Amino acid sequence: MSGKIRLFVDHPLGQGQSVPLTRDQAHYLFGVMRLSVGDALTLFNGRDGAWSARVAEARKKDGILSVEAQDAPQAAPPDLWLLFAPIKKARTDFIVEKATEMGAARICPVQTDFTNSERIRRDRLQAHAVEAAEQCGGTFVPEVTELRRLDTLLDRWPADRRLMFCDEAAAGETLRLPDRSDPPPHMSPPPWAILIGPEGGFSAEERTRLRAMDRATPVSLGPRILRADTAAVAALTLWQITLGDWR
């Protein structure tokens, strides 16, 4: 049996593999969680599934884990991107964490006309995605991309990717995602993205462009205007239930 502690490692995983620990990982396992030689935990790297392992060597600044057996195969989420305008630090962290837990494959901060935050710490947000994957039992960690301008992203929008445009101006309207008949069990949903606006909403120019896109589907998230972090969770839930792997 593997332990309850789950750790993401950037290292190949396989039976008998030795996995060296970084200083931060050693501090977490041995200083915070109080593991010692022989204790069990679960490892994943986003490529090889989840594996049970035991502590082989434990030191303050490093250590070695010994991989024993695979607990679960690698499971990828649907090909779903979440595009959102960064907001206050804690609420941006919340969006990244919940997007990871709810099955986004890529998390894309975007600069809109009314975005308040002009910079992000991508490495810090990526670390939040890792922590969320460790805690939710997943084997996949979504990529958090650098902040990009929304108009630049739309200029190069992939022809095969649909866009769920969550328009706060449509609150109270009946605008829904198109449902689909149940696909065969082996088929994944086609590529999609969800776009959440900033606290100030989309500009008139952005809204006009988005509604004119052939691949975009305007959607209302109910009768009330939601905060950006609430809207992200609501939109991901709506998409997963209608088109994703919650069906």
On whether both 165 and 203 belong to a single domain, the answer is yes
| CB burial of residue 62 (10 Å; 0-12, 13-18, 19+) | middle
Span 197-207, average pLDDT = 91
What pLDDT score does 174 carry?
Answer: 63
pLDDT of 101 above 80: yes
Which residues, listed in sequence order, are joined to residue 52 by a DSSP beta bridge? Answer: 42, 69
Same domain, 98 and 143: yes
Does residue 139 sit within a domain? yes
Using alpha carbons, select from 49, 101, 99, 98 the residue that is nearest to residue 75: 49
Q: Mean pLDDT over residues 39-47, rounded? A: 96
Residues 58, 99, single domain; the answer is: no
Q: Are residues 123 and 237 in the same domain?
A: yes
Neighbouring C-alpha atoms within 13 Å toward the C-beta of 117: 19
Judge whether 1 lies within some domain: no
Domain count, the chain: 2
- For residues 66 and 97, membership in a common domain is answered with no
Of 24, 44, 72, which marks where a domain is finished?
Answer: 72
CA-to-CA distance for 213 and 153, rounded, in angstroms? 13
Residue 43: closest CA among 5, 80, 74: 5
If asked whether residues 92 and 207 sit together in one domain, one would say yes
Q: Is residue 247 part of a domain?
A: no
The enclosing domain of 189 has a CATH number of 3.40.1280.10
Per-residue pLDDT reduced to its tens digit, 142-196: 999 999 999 999 999 999 999 999 988 777 666 667 766 555 555 677 899 999 9
Whether 135 and 162 map to the same domain: the answer is yes
* Residue listed under structure tokens 């949903």: 189
Regarding whether 183 and 61 lie in a shared domain, the answer is no
Span 227-236, mean pLDDT? 95
